[in-house]
Amino acid sequence: MATWNSRGLRGSTLEDLINRTNEKYLESNLALIQKIPTPITPIKIDKEHRHITLAYFDQKSTVDYIGVVQGIPVCFDAKECAQDTFALQNIHRHQVAFMDRFEKQKGIAFFLIYYSHREQFYYLPYAHLRYFWDRAQEGGRKSFRLDELNPEYFLPKKNGVLVPYLDLLQKDLEDRPES
């Protein structure tokens, strides 16, 4: 079982960039996005310094972020990738199931992937993830390559916003079939 202190600082820089972006969006009245903490049960607590030194995860987390953008419910997860191939084992079945249910309730679900070796962010719409996921479930590749991604969903560099995903959220909305 994974423990709270066994994961190190994985993703903390990415999380910080997204949190700062969400603060900027909040200040501009563009979005209200909350980081969802992973529920933990403490095992050891350093009473002198009043912090948890060992804990285990209570339950499977669903997504990293959830909120609303101009009246549209959104949820997303952030992932980091150090190569041009993203292994689908980094996404869990319960996350896909949650996002599927979220979309069926007229919400927008997506992944933000940071390709650290390229210093590029990618907005992966849920429908695109679902294509790769279903392909893997049917015996196909258990990953997707950078060259399989739609180049229009790479996040642009933008002054004042560290991870400018709202522009790509708009594109995601525009690219969806009318329902």
CATH number of the domain at 100, please.
3.40.1350.10
120 lies in a domain? Answer: yes
* Residue 60 confidence class, pLDDT cut points 50, 70, 90: low
Helices 126-137, 93-104: axis angle to 10 degrees equals 130
84 lies in a domain? Answer: yes
Encode pLDDT of 117-134 as tens digits: 998 999 999 999 999 999
Tokens representing 162 are 């560290």
Number of structural domains in the chain: 1
- Angle subtended at Cα 13 by Cα 129 and Cα 30, rounded to the nearest 5 degrees: 65
For residues 164 and 156, the answer to whether their CB atoms sit within 8 Å is yes
* Residue 59 confidence class, pLDDT cut points 50, 70, 90: low
Res 40: pLDDT: 60
Nearest to 2 by CA among 54, 63, 74: 54
* Residue 158 confidence class, pLDDT cut points 50, 70, 90: confident
User: Domain range for residue 86?
Assistant: 12-37+60-175
Which parts are annotated binding residues for Mg(2+)?
62, 64, 77, 95
43 lies in a domain? Answer: no
32 lies in a domain? Answer: yes
Which parts are annotated binding residues?
62, 64, 77, 95
115 lies in a domain? Answer: yes
Question: Residue 66 and residue 60: Cα distance in Å, rounded?
Answer: 16
54 lies in a domain? Answer: no
- Bridge-based pairing state of the strands 65-69 and 31-35: antiparallel
Question: Residue 25 and residue 17: Cα distance in Å, rounded?
Answer: 12
At residue 51, the 3 state secondary structure works out as strand
Instruction: Over range 24-50, report the average pLDDT.
Output: 82
- Angle subtended at Cα 139 by Cα 113 and Cα 110, rounded to the nearest 5 degrees: 25
100 lies in a domain? Answer: yes
Res 9: pLDDT: 35
User: First CA to last CA across the chain, in angstroms?
Assistant: 42
Q: What is the pTM of this model?
A: 0.83
Read off φ and ψ for residue 67, nearest 5 degrees: 175, -155
Tokens representing 54 are 């060992």
55 lies in a domain? Answer: no
Residue type, 22: N
